[in-house]
Structure 1
Amino acid sequence: MIYQMKVGLKGMSPPVWRRFQLDGNMTFVDFHHVLQVAFDWEDSHLHSFMMLRSGGEKTKVEIGPVEDRENMVFPFFSFHDFYEEQEERICDWFMAEKDRAIYTYDFGADWEHEIVLEKILKPELDVHYPYCLKAMKLAPEEDSWAMDASIREKDWRELTEEINLKLKTLEIGLLDSANPDDEFDWLELLEEAKSFNKLKPWELLEDDQLFIVADWESRQFLYCSVLGAGGEEYGLAVYVGNTGLQALKSTLSGDSTRDIFLKQRSLLLSFVDRDELDAADYDLLKQHGMSFRGRKQWVQMRSLVPGYYPWHVDEDEGRMLLVAIEQAKEMLKEVERGLTIPSYSGGNTFFGRMMQETEEGYEWQSVHIQLKEEKLKQDDKPSLHISELDMKRLEKMQVLHTSIIFDFVMIDKPIQDSPFERPYFPTLIVALDVEHGLVLYQEVLKSLNVKEEIQKAFLKLTEQLGGIPKAMTGKKDTAISLAPVTDQLPITINTVEKIHAIDELRDAMSRMPW
């Protein structure tokens, strides 16, 4: 796995720091070499690591070179355990987000680097690890002291590029990103996809003839639609869970394709032309010896997650897609034997595949599935996300004789913070004065926790206005998210299907360079 670390040089103002992604199997001695390169040290002094938090628990363990301790002029005894850096791996000690260590270089100057594990990720194709995502400010010069050190400026993009060029020269055990070490059999998925294509399922089913697959492992229903009867897009669309079904229902009810695209939760298997593949698509096929000829034959797989740009499927999504394809092939056999799958019009009754207990154990069977209405609720009742103290302050505020429009939308222009992170669609929260149409408040957020952020934004708005508006208009989702706050206030809530002024503002922001 890939470990994303932020490493900051303590005691420096403005901050001097680096953000890395590196192989968790890397030893601490290799990590030492990475840090030497990243901070432009010369490796001419002693060093050590001190683990302060491991696996979410406080600890105090030193990891370093045995020869450094043996060669000290004044040896010392420590009251904590010591481990050899050549033997210990990053993943042995950094096991949970926010695990923390201090790397000390030059025991005379005591340059301390705080290391924090930010996240653990799956490896990406065509990435040379270790990789520096961002580097801010040059480190002090070798053999300088903190009291004399001055911060040296350099454009962060140029600095980051220089560090990555140096990292590529390190002779350490690098993860082969083209062959990530995982348990999922991608070749089996690709072969099943190829087999599914040969069946030409679109000659048997229309895209509105929906069937269901009960995924045993994720405990979710997969709502499957064969694509291709229209002669344009060929493949299998798999809507995942209640979120996917709600998006499908929105499509059928005539909601705009733009909004549905931003809220979709699905997996998409497509058969496309060669020029429609990107580099990662092609590398996956090439890595597993898969090649195709002709139009609409090449396998492409995409994951759609609300708030994010369509991306390559991960292992768990690949497993779900494999289950869906295997059971879709079984459904096709049923159709060939005379089964009629009705066109879906929004009801809760489906025909599909589910694991059933038999005398010989569990096995897949074709069954009718009636979903209970209470199981189809997309969201639980939202909770209060501002403090009780803030809520009491709101209750004491005066009611203003003003009406506002208050809502949020996703801006359909993806932002990618780093080359290896999935691009996301930022959320725009905005408040408008109903009478004059003036913008009273706006905020653009990366956070996808809209229920929490919309409540915080409403609190900021009231503080800015100096009171509570007497009436507020917004879409249903916004009203639901705000209900724990507004239900306790003397404010009239009006819900509408569409707010043209906010859509126009979103269109304007979508055209802006980011």
Structure 2
Amino acid sequence: MKLLIEEARPLYEASNRFKQQASWQWLSSSHIFGVQDPETGQIGYCTVMGNGGEMYGLAVYLGTEGLDNLFNLLQGNNVEDPVFTQQCLLLSFENRDELSSEEYKQLKALGFSYRGRNAWPTFHRYEPGFVPGPVREAKDLRFFATCVEQAIEVASSVQSDPDQLFHSDQQLFLTRVPERSSDGQAWNWSDQWVEPVPLVVEEEPAQAARIDEIKLARLRRLPCPPESFWEFGLFYLHTAVGNKGRPYFPQILIISEPASGMIIHSAVAEKKRSSEQCIEELVDLLLQREYKPSRLILTLPNIAQVLLPLLTSIDIDVYTADRLPMVEDVLQELNQFLH
């Protein structure tokens, strides 16, 4: 799928004005504001980059999932590299040699040219599990251009006091909301304090944990060595797959038994596993090994929450930890081998 040309023009034009404004001189990554998509109603949560003098641009985190990614990033809570987990559109100003040939051709076709360091605008889409790449869809280009235009408006309005973007109720974010003009030909924008919609959980843990009663009875009868535990790690491999279409990062599940020094299960999946798939793989492993650990240790609280109802019902305790030493050693060796 080739990069669009004319559809990208408004985004380049808005980005030129954004760079000229240089709002990173008074806004930091903690100044978050929303822009509602006129077409879909989804809110993109924007943060200006460049206050630290390293990377200049604008990130638009998509929906509540994207906002949650941003909070994890700001608070240092990311278990994995953000490149695997972010849900955002990213405008950054780079050097000429950092542009792809495709991006450079797009710029030349539109008649834009830049000089100097950190002068060339690039636009990328980040989506969990996929390799970041140029924005290729017209709807994304339109919303991205809207976000950049509204970022200019917000930055200008708060220049004298950027902390106006902080509300006493930390659940509320200043959001630019569109409304059709009376003639239906344009959008009128207003500032509103909006609470993000609740984060949508892929599956309810109680539903995801349903397995047939025969298997459940077998799992309960499995012997359980005292003080035994398994490490349960779910990660993206650093090597991208797929030459045609959109390249993706395969996901690997590794389960180790530190007491024996063994990796007792590893499996690669093309796409992000659903909660149900995680449960099915663990159940199959328990029945295959014919015993169960007294504890299962994970680094991902959301997966721990999904597994909790099942494991509690079969007398396996669930714990979360900052690190899984044995699993992470294996993952590091595997990534080095693949590279």
Gap change, CA 1:463 and 1:376, over 3 Å in 2 = closer
Alignment size in residue pairs: 332
The 8 Å contact of residues 257 and 263 in structure 2, kept in 1 or not, is answered as yes
After TM superposition, the structure 1 = structure 2 runs for residues 3-42 of structure 1, keeping only pairs within 5 Å, are: none
Alignment partner for residue 307 of structure 1, among 108, 124, 129? 129
Q: Is it true that 1:470 corresponds to 2:294 in the alignment?
A: yes
Say if 2:185 is the partner of 1:363: no
2:154 corresponds to 1:331: yes
Partner of 1:430: 254
Equivalent residue for 1:194? Answer: 16
Q: CA deviation at 1:265?
A: 0.8
Distance 1:296 1:495 in 2: 41
Q: Secondary structure at the match of 1:428?
A: strand
- Maintained 8 Å contact 1:227/1:237: yes
- 1:350 aligned residue: 173
Q: What residue identity is the alignment partner of 1:352?
A: T
Q: What are the equivalent positions in structure 2 for 1:261-410 lying under 5 Å apart?
A: 261-315=83-137, 316-336=139-159, 340-342=163-165, 347-356=170-179, 363-371=188-196, 375-376=198-199, 379-382=202-205, 384=207, 388-389=211-212, 392-397=214-219, 398-402=221-225, 403-410=228-235
User: For each residue in 1:3-40, what CA deviation from the matched residue of structure 2 results, as whole angstroms up to 9, or x when unmatched?
Assistant: xxxxxxxxxxxxxxxxxxxxxxxxxxxxxxxxxxxxxx
Structure 1 residues 318 and 484: alpha-carbon distance in aligned structure 2, compared to 1, 3 A threshold:
farther
In the alignment, what sits opposite 1:235? Answer: 57
* 1:459 is the counterpart of 2:337: no
Equivalent residue letter for 1:425: F
Partner SS for 2:279? helix
Instruction: After TM superposition, give the deviation of residue 306 of structure 1 in Å.
Output: 1.1
The 3 A distance-change label for structure 1 pair 328 and 380 is: farther
Structure 1 residues 474 and 239: CA distance shift in structure 2, 3 A: same
Instruction: State the Cα distance separating 1:282 from its structure 2 match.
Output: 1.1
Structure 1 counterpart of 2:40, one-letter code: S
Match of 1:252 among 58, 62, 74: 74
Question: Given the alignment of the two structures, is residue 212 of structure 1 paired with residue 34 of structure 2, yes or no?
Answer: yes
Q: In the alignment, which residue of structure 2 is the partner of 1:156? A: none
> Residues 350, 457 of structure 1: CA spacing in aligned structure 2 closer, same or farther, 3 A cutoff?
same
How far did residue 512 of structure 1 move? 0.9
Is 1:482 aligned to 2:307, yes or no? Answer: yes
Q: 1:509 to 1:193 in 2, by over 3 A?
A: same
Is the counterpart of residue 444 in structure 1 residue 268 in structure 2? Answer: yes
In 2, distance between residues paired with 1:510 and 1:187?
39
Query: What's the CA shift for 1:332?
Result: 2.2
2:2 aligned partner: 124
Q: Structure 1 unaligned segments of length 5 or more: list them.
A: 1-122, 126-177
2:241 and 2:250 in contact (8 A); partners too:
no
- Find the aligned partners of 1:345 and 1:243 in 2 and give their Cα distance: 23
TM-score, normalisation: structure 1: 0.59
By how many angstroms is 1:333 displaced? 2.6
Residue in 1 aligned with 2:316? 491
User: Per the alignment, do residues 436 and 202 of structure 1 end up closer, same or farther by CA in structure 2, a change over 3 Å counting?
Assistant: same
Q: Structure 1 residues 223, 293: closer, same or farther in 2, change over 3 A?
A: same
Unaligned runs of 5+ in 2: none
What's the offset of the Cα at 1:331?
0.7
Decide whether the 8 Å contact of 1:251 with 1:257 is kept in 2. Answer: no
Query: Would the alpha carbon gap of residues 265 and 344 (structure 1) be closer, same or farther in structure 2, given more than 3 Å must change?
Result: farther
Change in 2 beyond 3 A, CA 1:380/1:388: closer
How far apart in 2 are the matches of 1:457 and 1:310?
29
Quickly say closer, same or farther: Cα 1:345–1:416, change in 2 above 3 A: farther
The one-character-per-residue Cα deviations of 1:87-121 (angstroms, maximum 9, x if unpaired) are xxxxxxxxxxxxxxxxxxxxxxxxxxxxxxxxxxx
How do 1:110-189 residues align onto structure 2 when only pairs under 5 Å count?
A: 123-124=1-2, 185-189=7-11
- Tell which deviates more after alignment, 244-253 or 267-276: 244-253
| Structure 2 residue 50 is the aligned partner of structure 1 residue 225 | no
Q: SS of the counterpart of 2:133?
A: coil
Indicate the structure with greater strand content. 1
Whole-Å Cα distance in 1 between the matches of residues 234 and 14 of structure 2? 38
Match in the other structure for 1:70: none
C-alpha offsets along residues 38-88 of structure 1, whole Å, 9 cap, x if unaligned?
A: xxxxxxxxxxxxxxxxxxxxxxxxxxxxxxxxxxxxxxxxxxxxxxxxxxx
d(CA) in 2 for partners of 1:311 and 1:417? 13
Distance 1:339 1:463, change over 3 A: closer
C-alpha distance in 1 between matches for 2:291 and 2:209: 17
Look up the match of 1:511. 336
Seq. identity, % = 26
Instruction: Tell whether the 8 Å contact from 1:206 to 1:226 is kept in structure 2 after alignment.
Output: yes
User: Contact 1:262–1:410 at 8 Å: present in 2 too?
Assistant: no
Give the TM-score normalised by the residue count of structure 2. 0.86
Task: Mark the CA change 1:378 to 1:325 in structure 2 (over 3 Å): closer, same or farther.
Answer: farther
Q: Check 1:203–1:324 CA distance in 2 against 1; reply closer, same or farther (3 A cut).
A: same
Q: RMSD of the alignment, in Å?
A: 2.9
| CA–CA separation in structure 1 for the residues paired with 2:38 and 2:79 | 31
Q: Deviations over 1:142-161 (max 9, x none)?
A: xxxxxxxxxxxxxxxxxxxx
Q: Partners of 2:147 and 2:125 in 1: how far apart?
A: 14
Indicate conservation of the 8 Å contact 1:271/1:296, yes or no. Answer: yes
Cα distance in 2 between the residues matched to 1:428 and 1:502: 11
1:378 Cα offset (Å): 5.6
Distance in structure 1 (CA, Å) of the matches to 2:38 and 2:309:
35
CA distance in 2, matches of 1:341, 1:210: 11
For 1:467 and 1:405, locate their aligned partners in 2 and report how far apart those are by CA, in whole Å. 12
Cα–Cα, structure 1 residues 279 and 432, in superposed 2: closer, same or farther, change >3 Å? same
The alpha-carbon deviation at position 300 of structure 1 amounts to: 0.5
